[in-house]
Amino acid sequence: MGKLKPLEKLRDVSRERVAVAMSGGVDSSTAALILKEEGYDVIGLTMRLWEDGESDEGRMLNLKATDLDIEEDNYPEDRPRSCCSPLDIQDAKEVADKIGIPHYVINLADLFEQRVIRPFCDQYLEGMTPNPCLNCNRFIKLDILRRRAHWLGAYYLSTGHYVRVRSAEENGRFLVYRAEDSSKDQSCMFWSATQEQLCHFLSPLGDYTKERVRKLAERAYLPVADKMESQEICFISDNNYHRFLREKVGYCPRPGPIVDTEGKVIGTHQGLAFYTIGQRRGLGIGGPGPYYVVGIDTEKNLLIVGHWKDVYRRELIAEEVNFIPFDHLEGDLRVTAQVRYRGEEGEAIVRPVDESRVQVTFRRPIRAITPGQSVVFYQGDLLVGGGIISSFSGSGQAVV
């Protein structure tokens, strides 16, 4: 196959067919089940994001992966050492067989390396704290995987995210809302979604609670009905990203001074990539603490620490911004803004700086605003948009 063509140039794309990104977990499995019961022509797509170790190769023999590697760019040949478990792929296949839908394994290892893993490493080395799950959803699932789905004749892509995507009657735009189950809501992962992506997206779990999803899976005798959720970064199985940075990019930690907010040296850090804003443990310093990381200066190799009140900030600059109900922000916008996934949320004003950046000013200081993480904007349950935090300012005491 050659380069991907625009959707309108593809033939035999059916609005009745939906491709479900099946990770082997209960959520995406139940999403496929719900769509099948609603009458859609469902196919399952499972991403192989890199090659696992030799001990797992035998487990892959019966998967009959479909080769859908479409050349879009010249991606490097080196691949990571491990990723989503072959057992997860096996689970997805068994679920697909159980509910009677076709199942395809798609090799996206090179793209995952380029769009997720390398930016993850680069940002950590620049003193930022990246969110690889966001980048995976942004660049791999909603973009690359969606277009792979079109090649299989599916007009729609669906996932196991707890989010609601609806069409606005007044202007025809597609909007994103928080999920019914607030404890599982994942709408913040969709702040970067474009109208093109949203119009091809189905969100079957948006109106379901996690408890109900498990009951549906149990009722259908899905083999993953009681499967536990993974909390780690998918390509770092032991959750030790320090080791990963050493092995993946040869990161050699460079110790340097730990200074307080007045510039006084009070300790030695073990390498800036091992710290993040708001961190308390593992600093190895005494004194009138506790101390928290409040800043990272990569140019001077300084780790800046302060007390509880110093972790709170009032303003930030976000870049790569995207808005969902409209294309561009023309003036001040009142929102509630959330930093980090499931992070603190507060009333704020968003002001445009230029076409790709905004300034966000909180009414009350927010804890641990961290460069590299997302800031997401809401008005009630409506997701307005978001961006990537690039800097912060305006320290202040938290309001108790």
DSSP string, 289-312: ---EEEEEETTTTEEEEE-GGGGE
Mean pLDDT, the chain, integer: 86
Instruction: Check pLDDT > 70 for residue 81.
Output: no
pLDDT at 397 over 90: no
Query: Last residue of some domain: 306, 328, 343?
Result: 306
Strand-pairing partners, residue 304, are 259, 295
Reported confidence tier of residue 55, pLDDT bands at 50, 70, 90? very low
Contact (CB, 8 A) for 45 and 106 = yes
In a domain, 245, yes or no: no
Mean pLDDT of the region 269-286: 91
Name the domain boundary from 202, 219, 236. 219
Give me the phi and psi of 354, to 5 degrees please.
-155, -165
Q: What is the pLDDT of residue 276?
A: 92
Which burial class, exposed, middle or buried, applies to 61 when counting CB atoms under 10 A from its CB (0-12, 13-18, 19+)? exposed
Could you tell me if 52 and 81 lie in one domain?
yes
At CA 130, angle to CA 146 and CA 349, rounded to 5?
90
Residue 120: burial class (beta carbons within 10 Å; 0-12, 13-18, 19+): buried
**Residues 88-144 pLDDT 10s:** 899 999 999 999 999 999 999 999 999 999 999 999 889 899 999 999 999 999 999
Domain count, the chain: 3
Shared-domain flag, residues 133 and 114: yes
pLDDT at residue number 182? 92
E-strand stretches of 29-186: 41-48, 103-107, 154-158, 164-167, 174-177
Cβ burial, residue 85 (10 Å; 0-12/13-18/19+) = middle
pLDDT of residue 228: 85
Q: Is 333 in a helix, a strand, or coil?
A: strand
Q: At what angle do helices 241-249 and 118-125 cross, to 10 degrees?
A: 100
Catalytic residues: 136, 234
pLDDT band at residue 10 using 50, 70 and 90 as cut-offs? low
Domain shared by 182 and 41, yes or no: yes
| Cβ atoms of residues 384 and 324 within 8 Å | yes
Could you read off the pLDDT of 236-272 as tens digits, one per residue?
Answer: 877 788 888 988 888 888 999 999 999 999 999 999 9
Residues 66 and 29 in one domain: yes
Dump the DSSP string for 242-289.
HHHHHHHH------EEEE-TT--EEEEES-GGG--TT--TT----SS-
Shared domain for 183 and 261, answered yes or no, is: no
| pLDDT digits 0-9 by tens, 107-117 | 999 999 999 99
Output the six-digit token pair for 372.
């590299």
Q: Are residues 294 and 330 in the same domain?
A: no
Q: How confident is the model at residue 78 (pLDDT cuts 50, 70, 90)?
A: very low
Asked if residue 400 is part of any domain, the answer here is no
Find the CATH number of the domain harbouring 383.
2.40.30.10
Q: What is the pLDDT of residues 206-217, one digit of tens each?
A: 999 999 999 999
pLDDT of residue 5: 46
300 and 314 within one domain: no
- Which of 196, 219, 242 marks a domain boundary? 219
Q: Are 399 and 374 in contact (CB under 8 A)?
A: no
**What is the model's pLDDT at position 309?**
93
pLDDT classification of 49: cutoffs 50, 70, 90:
confident
Q: How far apart are CA 305 and CA 291, in angstroms?
A: 6
The reply to whether 91 and 73 lie within a common domain is yes
pLDDT in tens, 321-367: 999 999 999 999 999 999 977 778 999 999 999 989 999 999 999 99
Domain residues for 273? Answer: 253-306
Q: How confident is the model at residue 385 (pLDDT cuts 50, 70, 90)?
A: very high
Answer for the pair 349, 308: CB distance below 8 angstroms, yes or no. no
pLDDT attached to residue 170: 78
Q: Are 16 and 41 in contact (CB under 8 A)?
A: yes
Q: Is the pLDDT of residue 289 over 50?
A: yes
User: Is pLDDT above 50 for 82?
Assistant: no
The answer to whether residue 247 sits within a structural domain is: no
User: Residue 47: its pLDDT value, please?
Assistant: 94
Report the pLDDT averaged over residues 289-304: 93
Alpha carbon distance 385, 392 (integer Å): 19
CA distances from residue 290 to 163, 281, 344, 370 in whole angstroms, order as listed: 38, 9, 21, 20
* Residue 332 CB contacts under 8 Å (≥ 6 apart), including other chains: 349, 350, 351
What token pair was written down for 69? 């590697």
Tell me the three state secondary structure of residue 347.
strand
- In contact, 155 and 200? CB cutoff 8 Å: yes
**Host H or E run for residue 318:** strand 312-323
